[in-house]
Amino acid sequence: MLSGRTFGNKVISGSCGDVSVNDNPVISAGSEIGGFSIDSYHVSTEFDARLEFHYGMPDGSTCKHSNQCSSKGTTIYNKQCGGAKTVKVVYPKDKGSKKKRCGVKIHTISFDCNKHKTTTVKSTPPATK
């Protein structure tokens, strides 16, 4: 495994909403790479919130997991969605919150270069056209 990728004083940042929002932050591999496996990433949020992470898999399915995230920072571990082509950060609709969007910052990303197979646990079927 490579050590964590830091961005110095910079961060990857954006604002995420529910799954229907088209401008949610997305991490993706270039076409020359194909898939990748993120082992973990450290994120902080505008306010404490449960975020979802939607991994676009090579077969067109979506592997998802959620995690409670803190404004002080949280490390997210990817234990089920190796080999993804993309990762989309989603702030799902929360009946208890009036906020529709949540600011998110990604401070570090650790890639697992030893994972050579893809996994699809908790997948949803590909969208039909």
Enter the pTM of the model.
0.77
Residue-wise burial string across 19-41, b where 16 or more C-beta atoms lie within 10 A, e elsewhere: eeeeebbebeeeeeeebbbbbbb
Let me know: does 76 contact 53? Beta carbons within 8 Å. yes
Interval 58-84 mean pLDDT: 91
Tally: H helices and E strands in the chain: 0, 10
Q: Is the pLDDT of residue 116 over 60?
A: no
- Residue 45 CB neighbours (<10 A): 22
pLDDT of residue 34: 65
